[in-house]
A and B are shown apart, each in its own frame.
Chain A
Amino acid sequence: DAGITQSPRHKVTETGTPVTLRCHQTENHRYMYWYRQDPGHGLRLIHYSYGVKDTDKGEVSDGYSVSRSKTEDFLLTLESATSSQTSVYFCAISELAGANYGYTFGSGTRLTVV
């Protein structure tokens, strides 16, 4: 999707290893979000950021940490991956919060923990 890139697109990792997913935006948007999507569930918020070094937890934050040292990059880290973290991870960006603002999603990272 234009303006937002996730990397890697696919990753297979072993249980217990650390994993970092990257979200990069070129829109200079203030808000960035990490979601996970699992079959039968709606997207669930992991963490979000409302500015450089300003982050907060979402609904399913256990086992995840994030960092935002620059406006354009939002990193999601799984400190010690578990099989329950096998999922598709989506990053989203928004210029501002509110009904008048759209939220643009990246193309996702498919993570498999074996």
Chain B
Amino acid sequence: KNQVEQSPQSLIILEGKNCTLQCNYTVSPFSNLRWYKQDTGRGPVSLTIMTFSENTKSNGRYTATLDADTKQSSLHITASQLSDSASYICVVSPDNYGQNFVFGPGTRLSVLP
């Protein structure tokens, strides 16, 4: 069964610190992997999209990595800010069709002053 697992389930860090969120997947075949940020009470917003051939993709202070061989991805947040407090969702697609997205449960990040 296609699944996406994320760890940790929740994380608390102090403002200015770095952190790394993990995503492991069993989705096969593989087309692309996306990271989304979801603020409380809002819909998910795309951070990065990576295809099979991409190992890393950055968006400001967010850097995603992908190891398609081990089926792992990570999202690294540098110099965290209070506004980074949100859920981060890993999404894997086996093809180019949005109806087949497999969503992870998310990691809840809290950044404290």
Contact = CB atoms under 8 A, between A and B. Distances in A.
Q: Do A and B come from one complex?
A: yes
Contacts of B14: none
Interface in B90-106: 91, 93, 96-99, 101-106
Nearest to B105: A42
Interface of A: 1, 31, 33, 40-45, 48, 56, 58, 90, 92, 94, 97-100, 102-103, 105-108
Interface of A is mostly: loop
22 contacts: A1-B42, A1-B43, A1-B45, A33-B98, A41-B105, A42-B91, A43-B44, A45-B99, A45-B101, A48-B99, A58-B99, A92-B98, A97-B96, A97-B98, A98-B96, A99-B49, A99-B51, A100-B49, A103-B98, A105-B43, A105-B45, A107-B42
